[in-house]
Amino acid sequence: MRKTFFLAAGLLFSVSAQSQILDAIKSTVKSQTGIDLNNPKKNTTSTTTSTSTQSSTSSSVNLNNLTSTQISSGLKEALNLGVTEGVKKLGVTDGFLKNEAVKILMPEKLRVIDTKLRAFGLGSLADQGVKLLNRAAEDAVTESAPIFTKAITSMTITDAKNILLGGDNAATNYLQGKTQSQLFTAFQPKVKASLGKVGADKVWTNLISKYNTLTGQAVSTDLNEYVTNETINGVFKMVAEKESGIRNNSVMRTTSILQKVFGAQDGK
């Protein structure tokens, strides 16, 4: 009987001691970290849910405050700014040539010419050929602004919200996809005139002729088509750069419509 009594007492003491030790551990954790081990998830879950709900509501409210017309106007204004600034930067001496992002290189299928001419000590002729391709683009692009502006003005954005909430270059990519062929048709005559104006056509005729004579081959390329595409792509790269800046930097939103529209997309 006495053994049973002492055994029960020992168990009770052990349980009591463990409980006291556990309480001490919980108290220490709470004082050191602020975490209540008796209820560790309640506050975190509540805060997360509340924040998530608030963020979702804010994003929805911001977009619902905009009309499709406002979104379309904001996107078009961003594209117009990109075109205007892009053309201004590219349409000067070395605007293409000294800008590695848009510099026009020798056509890919003719790059073997560059290697061969340099091997024969005619590197200066190859350099002159590339330089004049860029000079032609710099000359032609100054007349391209109205073409791009017309394309932007006539653009119908039926999925305006999707474009607004798209990637950094969503509007630029949309515009390029919709207008590339029309822009090429309108722009090609201007490039052709510029190739003649800066003398690129004659230099390239001489360059290819020398290569064919030295190698016994007969290569040719449509420089007009090549430079037209590269010039258009160069402008679109500048437009994309501007669009990305407006989307990600509020300082670049210099008008009320840009601030309103792209301010809304900040919460996407």
Tens of pLDDT, residue by residue over 130-167, are 999 999 999 999 988 888 888 888 887 777 888 888 89
Cβ atoms of 129 and 106 closer than 8 Å: yes
Question: What is the dihedral sign for C-alpha 218, 106, 176, 190?
Answer: negative
Q: Where are the beta strands (DSSP E) in the chain?
A: none
Whether residue 140 lies inside any domain: the answer is: yes
* Domain residue limits at 181: 63-267
Highest mean pLDDT among 54-68, 88-102, 124-138: 88-102
Whether residue 37 lies inside any domain: the answer is: no
Whether residue 7 lies inside any domain: the answer is: no
Report the distance separating Cα 59 and Cα 56, nearest Å.
Answer: 5
Whether residue 28 lies inside any domain: the answer is: no
pLDDT digits (tens, 9 = 90+) for 168-185: 999 999 989 888 888 999
Whether residue 4 lies inside any domain: the answer is: no
Whether residue 98 lies inside any domain: the answer is: yes
The answer to pTM > 0.95 is: no
Residue 55, pLDDT score: 39
Please calculate the CA angle 123-125-127 and round it to the nearest 5 degrees. 70
Whether residue 35 lies inside any domain: the answer is: no
DSSP 8-state class, residue 252: G
Q: How many domains does the chain have?
A: 1
